[in-house]
Amino acid sequence: MSAFWSAWVTIITLAVILGCTWLLFQTRKSENYKEETDQTVGHSFDGIEEYDNPLPKWWFQMFLATVVFGLVYLVLYPGLGNFKGLLGWTSAGQWEEEMAHAEENYRPVFAKYAALSVEDLIKPENEAGLKMGQRMFANNCSLCHGTAGTGAHGFPNLTDSDWLYGGNPDTIMQTIVHGRQGAMPAWGAVLGEEGVRDVTSYVLTLSGSEADSEAAARGKTQFQALCTACHGVDGKGMQALGAPNLTDDVWLYGNSFAEIAHTIRAGRNGVMPAHKDLLSEEKIKLITAYVYSLSNQ
């Protein structure tokens, strides 16, 4: 926050507190006034008149107590612009402290399962550990892959047997730890619009879909010249590069002519974020086991 906005927030905050306090004293009856009176404020609401009585002493004193509390709070904790408070408290610091406390308490539980292989973790006798992995998946992965791991448009389905980089435990764990960067280059400028349509037609035939045979024949030549380096001569992909298999009719961005053409024309850029700095090794292992179980049980 800039110095100007810091001063602005500080002035407004203190002005409101002091203004309310001044108003409280200005509207308070003198001690010489009786506690109660028959005098009214001079107007009525739906026939109801309000007595012009002083504020109860207990109410007045509690109001003053809240003012004192507020001022003390602003001295100890952040609230006045860039002033951090005498205690140096921050929400991030409290979160880190709570996370460290939780890690200390639950470390023995995670250590128990960390000693097991992923294949052992998905066995029935380790159901409790797998459920822990499921809850951590829900907290960290479900936003993209869905609560059931079935994915969404542009996000892989983790419950089937189709894997871009491989579905064995080591590969899944590597994906979670280091993330993935999937890039499909844009070929629109190279192929032209007619070439995009031809290659799209050929790609559709690879998975058994209907397409214009003449366009597909032209597209095959262009596919072999431009696409086989990643997808292979037979279009079955390459897991080392994360290049998808185009023959199995499993599509990350949809299998319509328009969607495939858009992929070829404009390219795609998929990102799986790395979690090595977000989750401990034990937690990543439990999530790996849960993801592995989705397509192996």
Packed helices 57-76 and 3-26: angle between N→C axes, nearest 10 degrees: 170
CA 93 to chain CA centroid, nearest Å: 20
Element (H, E) at 41: strand 40-45
Tokens of 254: 């949809």
Say how far apart CA 124 and CA 129 lie, in whole Å: 10
Element (H, E) at 214: helix 213-226
Residues 147, 151, 156, 158: what is their CA dihedral angle, to the nearest 10 degrees? 50
Per-residue exposure over 96-108, b if at least 16 CB sit within 10 Å of its own CB, e if not = eeeeeeeeeeeee
**Which parts are annotated binding residues for heme c?**
141, 144-145, 184, 227, 230-231, 272
Query: Which amino acid appears at position 76 of this protein?
Result: L
**Which parts are annotated binding residues?**
141, 144-145, 184, 227, 230-231, 272
Report the alpha-carbon angle 286-289-292, nearest 5.
150
